[in-house]
Amino acid sequence: MTTLTDIKKAPVDVEAIRQRFPALHQQVNGYPLVYLDNAATSQKPQEVIDALRRYYEQDNANIHRGIHTLAERSTANFEETRKAIQQFIHAGEAEEIVFTSGTTGSINLVAQTYGRKYLQEDDEVIISSLEHHSNIVPWQMICEEKGAKLKVIPITESGELNLDAYKKLLTEKTRMVSVAHVSNTLGTINPIKDVIDLAHQAGARVLIDAAQGIVHCRIDVQALDCDFLAFSGHKMYGPTGTGVLYGKRELLEAMPPYQGGGEMIKEVTFAKTTYNELPYKFEAGTPNIGDVVTLKTAVEFINGLDRDAVIAHEEHLVRKTMQGLEQIPGIRLIGTAPHKAGVVSFVSDHIHHFDLGMMLDARGIAIRTGHHCTEPLMSLLNIEGTCRASFAVYNTEQEVDYLLQAVRALVEKKKK
């Protein structure tokens, strides 16, 4: 049970921040929008919207190969985003930052390059019970192709990784451990530093799915010593269609290209092709230039906030929501780990999660319902799906109160 002492207020000027997000200031079904689906995608501040429009109005040109002014400006802006991401996650060098279409694209890149080169028959890949499908299916595919084994870390009743079981899963045949930083369904913050250290002791490499963690937690890839880190721009107030793969230089250099085409080559003849240097070896074709350029503005928006205060504010909203839901008869929390970020999942004994989501939408409240691309986790928990409220810096205590009032009213009406 959460208690009042668990809830700490943070000095974040949420109202001033909200003024920078135009999508929040609208009505949905006749009610002011309460947007609580941030784990799926975040809304965008005006400066991000303006940056994207400015790119297409002024700088639109293909990059790296042009010598005219627009091409040079676009190239410079594109590479500035790479440097901004390097600094944001404290990578050792900009060349360790590869742009992709999103977290899914980044994980698939590693599975289909590192996995195809290094996995052999009877080798082992370890994931966890908490994983999104994007961190399950790519490993299933490559394991099936190579004859390797996929092993799964179990979780505790509260939704935490069972580290004792994880230690037993690690063997001399473990080649890769790939786990989420933060569960997109339960909000559990996994002890990824422990996961990484234990994997390295066993001689395995580690990929961290930071799709949720990138915006709710501070990430320093050198301090973590992870081998790969994957995340998406659209969950951190940036554009959709943008993603990042961080990889240690020595690993990226040893991996074969993922796709062939322009940009990823040095020289092409009909007899042989030589590949480009990092990171371009993994960026075939014309990239999503405008959105990548704009991603730098999203990073600047985050950097302009008091990160510690934001983390405390979001944690306060999570705890307040959990505490309120616990007081509604017939509502059950799914995922009660003491260390959570951004996400609260729950089910009702009286209303199907899909129906409850539709009823809340009718009152202007946007949440997510279903299995959240974690079907194996749902099966493990013996449920079909959940209602998921997920938070961002611009969410308020008043929005939480409105959600709780709406859920209580709908449940009580259904019980009559």
The first and second tokens of residue 8, run together, are 């700490």
Q: What is the C-alpha separation between 143 and 111, in angstroms, rounded?
A: 9
Structure tokens at 353: 């999660």
Q: Which runs of consecutive H residues, i.e. helices, occur in 119-162?
A: 137-146
373 is catalytic: yes
The active-site residue, picked from 143, 217, 226, 373, is 373
The residue among 113, 106, 239, 119 whose CA lies nearest residue 173 is: 119
With beta carbons less than 8 A apart as the criterion, state whether 297 and 272 touch: no
Contact 97, 82 (CB under 8 A): yes
Of 228, 246, 278, 302, nearest to 91 (Cα)? 246
Cβ atoms of 128 and 152 closer than 8 Å: yes
Coil, helix or strand at residue 182: strand
> CA nearest 51: which of 339, 232, 264, 300?
300
Q: Helix, strand, or coil here: 192?
A: helix
In the numeric block, the tokens 């066993």 are attached to 202
Angle at 9 between CA 368 and CA 302, to 5 degrees: 60
Residues 6+ apart with CB under 8 A from 352: none
- Residues carrying an active site annotation: 373
